[in-house]
Amino acid sequence: MKILKFSSSSLSNADKIKKAVKIVSDQFDSDQFIVVVSAIDGITDHLVKIAKLASQGDITYKKELALIEDRHVTTIKNLVETKNQNQFISPVLDLFKELSMLLDSMYNLRELTKRTLDLVMSFGERFSSLIIQGGFIDKGMPAELVDSCSLIKTDATYNNAIVNIELTNNNIQAYFKNPKKLYVAPGFIASSQSNETTTLGRGGADYTATLFVSALGTSNLEIWSDKDGIMTADPSFVKRAMTIKTISYDEALELAHFGSKVIFSPSLIPAINKKIPIQFKNTLNPAAEGTCICDKAESLKSSPVRGVTSISNVSLITVQGSGMIGVVGITSRLFSCISRKKVNVMLITQGSSEHSITFAVTPSDSQIAKKLIEKEFKLEMKDELIEPLNVEENLSIITIVGENMKNTPGISARLFDALGRNGISAVATAQGASELNISVVIKQEHEKKALNSVHETFFLSGLKTLNVFLIGTGVIGSTLLKQIAQQKEHLITKNNIEVKLIGLANIDKYLFNEDGIKVENWETDLINSGLPINLKDYVKEMKDLNLRNSVFVDCTASKDLADLYADILSSSISIVTPNKIANSSSIEYYEKIHDATARFGVKFLYETNVGAGLPVINTLKDLINSGDEIEKVEAMLSGSLNYIFSNFDDKNGFQQVVKEAREKGFTEPDPRDDLSGKDVGRKLLIIFREMGMKINLDDVDITNCLTKESQEAKSLDELWNTLEQFDNPEMEKRRKMAAESGKILKYVGIIENGKATTAIKEIAPDHPFYNINGSDNIVSFTTSRYKTNPLIVIGPGAGAEVTAAGIFADIIRIVNF
């Protein structure tokens, strides 16, 4: 005989019920069946609501009851053929009359006892049983309706009755001694010794099915829902949760204890005690393998962890004090006193010094437990042997479960690394003696992020998802988005890295999509769906999403945005940016943002601050970290100035070359921004700070390429005039003097002897900088190891493609930290 249980979610409408009927009909010729059914989805809660309305004297209970009646009648009409509908509708309407009379009595008496509530709730399964029976009969499968109340006997603990296993087994075995082809049995409901209707509490329909399985000794139990089985995590939190093929009884019980919503451990015990496999399957996808709970689960090569689960909204109580150390009976007194009020303890952890005991309870139990403990240890607290109780609220428990964890080193390290990398602190930890689970208590606000981080670590075969928030879609930003789109599939297949664009903003609008913005369509989506931009609103929403592996990418030159970096980093969000403002701001702010990276375990990467796509910062860091000593840095760090001085000769005057550079886009709209030398000064400052020097921009000796007259020009036209009148003759004189000695002019930054300077230098033909033309940059490091032949980094120092590539490289680098 096969026993199948159909959950509420698999019976929510006629179409789903038809699928359940078909599952049985496809096997009908080969076996005998007991089909255990739950109430139609949502009906039990609706019945409880109606009962409360009636007992409170609210006449609207009649309207609510009519809605339920109409839903059930409609379900029958959509389920069976028209000619058979009255045959199946009539008994359902009779049952509704019975329920209506009961509710009328409650309305008149203004009373709702637990016993009466059990009777009201029982109608949900009784209704669905009649409907399912009709569905079978309509398809030519005679089905006998089982009175579960007469078979399953309990005590009189209403709403969560305790089953008399021996009597129930005898009743079931006697009833099915000469089994027929097909039975339909309502789950969840039972009766007391005095034949009063009782219910079996949460998971009651599953419990009914396992009681039948245990009593009859069948080979397995199938539990059907609208899910593919038990998942590696709750899919409402973790969208990439996967179906677990097999799971051991012990693992299933641990997952159930620590919050899995698919299974409820007490309901499985009868089947587990008899070592009967339980198969979880999907009525909407019957071909799917589903999940099998069995004695020995299949060993997983990919991960020793079977699942990750969580309990939301937990309170943590800590009892501590010097008077607890070495005192026998403290623990016994503690848990005995709270057990008297049936306070359920979910997790316990104790310091090895015996100085403290911490345990987790539901918020509703926390104040009850606090009062009980304070009463129990009143004298110890008076004498200050035990400190005032510490109750922490708004917490969650994250638990990983797996039998093979105990044989695999490094599991705890990987768990805490996944949490730590995402700025999630452990409030408390615990591990079962069987080593089947490791639990971590965290702030509830981090629950979703923690589940995704841990799940990614143990189940996604090394795949790392970077959740990117980008501001700035100008030339650099749009080029970066194009590069991300081009490399997206390559990164997934070759590097196990997924770059997911979650947030996007330009000067006008911003857009968020937690499922990911399609990089190929970003411009259209931003125009059509974007909201008016406000930087603080954007940053707040990014922080509120609280996603794992978050990276903020600033492709602007905004000081307002740079001023928010410390706040962003403190929210455990890494930053990648070509924006130099933060790193060249005051030394106090510079240290604040860099200290935040260490404190909150995030990264602040800015390779493109200095040389676009050139590896200047990383090369410098490698030299310093490997113990080399930097003696001198020489650098040409402005593509604009290098272009100007490379093309300034006896045929092209200074003013002419500056105009040409502006027309070709090599300078800012106002070329004084480049010719002032401040941009080079900022880059030099950043390099100097990487070397450990605590200086500000004012400490850098910056040479302005322009005369005072050009610097003070009030318009571009006036600038061109002053360039021709004052700068051109002055600069031409310097050029000629250099040329007479075979040299050329270059704008160079130098760090040496604890000083940073920028200047227009005469460069000889044997100097590495002599042949640097166009917009290329070059940096020369003279060190204790690279003394005779300096280490040189050379290449394009400007341009959208190379700058975007440098930003992209920094984004990917986040994964490898």
Looking at the annotation, which residues are catalytic?
Answer: 683
Calpha distance 513→779 (Å, rounded): 41
Calpha distance 498→484 (Å, rounded): 10
Write out the two tokens for 273.
């005690």
- What secondary structure letter does DSSP report for 772? -
Tracing tokens 């001694």 back to the chain, one arrives at: 177
Calpha distance 131→125 (Å, rounded): 10
Write out the two tokens for 471.
């501001």
Tracing tokens 């290098």 back to the chain, one arrives at: 642
419 phi/psi in degrees, rounded to 5:
-75, -45
**Buried b / exposed e along 657-688 (16+ C-beta atoms within 10 A):** bbbebbeeebbeeebbebbbbbbbbbbbbbbb
Q: Where are the alpha helices (DSSP H) in 554-653?
A: 559-562, 565-569, 587-600, 608-611, 616-625, 639-647
Write out the two tokens for 578.
């070509």
Residue 481: CB atoms within 10 A of its CB come to: 23
The length of the chain, given as a count of residues: 817
Helix, strand, coil distribution of the chain in percent, nearest 5? 45, 20, 35
Q: Which residues pair with 512 in a beta bridge?
A: 503
Residue 631: CB atoms within 10 A of its CB come to: 15
Query: What's the distance, CA 487 to chain centroid?
Result: 24
Q: Where are the alpha helices (DSSP H) in 352-508?
A: 363-376, 378-382, 411-420, 447-459, 475-495
Nearest to 566 by CA among 552, 555, 578, 556: 552
Q: Are 146 and 173 in contact (CB under 8 A)?
A: no
Q: Spell out the SS3 assignment of 261-313.
A: CCCCHHHHHHHHHCCCCEEEEECCCCCCCCEEEECCCCCCCCCCCCEEEEEEE
Nearest to 610 by CA among 671, 684, 668: 684
Task: End-to-end CA distance of the chain: give it in Å, rounded.
Answer: 56
Calpha distance 608→585 (Å, rounded): 16
- What secondary structure letter does DSSP report for 389? P
Tracing tokens 């329909």 back to the chain, one arrives at: 205
Q: Spell out the SS3 assignment of 656-714.
A: HHHHHHHHCCCCCCCCHHHHCCHHHHHHHHHHHHHCCCCCCHHHCECCCCCCHHHHCCC
Sheet holding 550-554, edge to edge: 531-532, 509-512, 497-505, 464-471, 550-554, 574-576, 604-605
Residue 809 half-sphere exposure, CB side, CA atoms within 13 Å?
Answer: 16
Nearest to 655 by CA among 753, 739, 721: 721
Write out the two tokens for 515.
């499922």
Calpha distance 419→449 (Å, rounded): 9
Calpha distance 133→127 (Å, rounded): 10
Sheet holding 437-443, edge to edge: 347-350, 356-361, 307-320, 390-401, 437-443, 428-431
Tracing tokens 């509710």 back to the chain, one arrives at: 103
Calpha distance 795→775 (Å, rounded): 9
Work out the burial of residue 180: count CB atoms within 10 Å of its CB; fewer than 13 is exposed, 13-18 middle, 19 or more buried. exposed
Write out the two tokens for 551.
């990276």
